[in-house]
Amino acid sequence: MKVGIVGYGAYVPKYRITAETIARAHKQDPKKITAGLLVHEKTVPAYDEDTATIAVAAAKKALTCANITPTKIGALYVGSESHPYAVKPTAVTVGEALGVGNDYMAADLEFACKAGTAALQICYALVKAGMIEYGLAIGADTAQSRPGDVLEYSAAAGGGAFLIGCNEDEIIATIDATLSVSSDTPDFWRRPMQAYPEHMNRFTGEPSYFRHVLAATEKILAQTNLKPSDFSYVVFHQPNGKFALTAAKKLGFTREQVEPGLIAPHLGNSYSATSLIGLAAVLERARPGEKILVTSYGSGAGSDSFILQTTENI
């Protein structure tokens, strides 16, 4: 049975702040910051935008794209590290706003920046098992940063939503393979009651991001007997603009394969949403029969990797 994406949607706040503005506020060199991170500007949520409202906005676009009745959704998962409540699920608030009804599975997920792709994997598995007809996977965040921290240049807001189903007349991209690589690598964390996250600075690069992204990608390529040149597009998680390009080069992908989904330079890193928004950007231009590779990353640490192929329905 083929299982894949039947609808998708993305939402980013309309407000922006440039890296230059932040750098000047902290008396830092704007050109050095921009060149080092490859982030020119980022999204800023409005005062009344939180993870729930952003998730609803993205999900409504996914439902419109799929043109299905919300009550057909059998599972709804929201991945985020900035849920509005410490104890109260975002997922049911989103389900209520969408009109899903009451007969559905729901949960909030948290795995730093890969909670959205974790939701995608769960929905894929439930549809594949025949337990539900449609699953809605959402990644949404309003990322926080300590003022003056390097994260302030990239921590952004946004949401991505994907409806997963098995009707071949509706699938616009099949999910042909998925796997994960996980480890206890504490490169980024936030204790209860702390206002801002802590991180291990450059340790978040080689031992964390690159170790997991490269391992997951290499593993899924080996399992499927595919090589970088078989893909039209590749989307990696983007804590900044440079990491995705560096990972692509290490793995043998070209800049041309990466750039269509490279959103961080102008949107920043919306954490759980980043990989999903990058995938949405790719689907906007993809043609039938094209292969797409997506590998997310979440601090703490782990990566989810997917191989998709677009259909005639795209």
Residue type, 81: E
Question: Where does residue 47 rank: exposed (0-12), middle (13-18), buried (19+ CB within 10 A)?
Answer: exposed
Q: Which residue has the tokens 């290499």?
A: 218
- Which of 81, 152, 170, 290 does the annotation list as catalytic? 81
- Which of 199, 212, 237, 290 does the annotation list as catalytic? 237
Q: Which long-range contacts (CB under 8 A, 24 or more apart) does 29-35 make?
A: 33/153
- Which of 40, 49, 65, 113 does the annotation list as catalytic? 113
By the 8 A CB rule, do 112 and 249 touch? no
CA nearest to 7, candidates 130, 169, 167, 164: 164
Q: Which residue has the tokens 């991505």?
A: 160
158 forms bridges with which residues in the sheet?
Answer: 141
Could you confirm whether 113 is annotated as catalytic?
yes
Q: Which long-range contacts (CB under 8 A, 24 or more apart) does 21-24 make?
A: 22/152, 22/153, 23/153
Could you confirm whether 206 is annotated as catalytic?
no
Could you confirm whether 266 is annotated as catalytic?
no
> 301 preceded by cis ω (within 30°)?
yes
Active site residues per annotation: 81, 113, 237
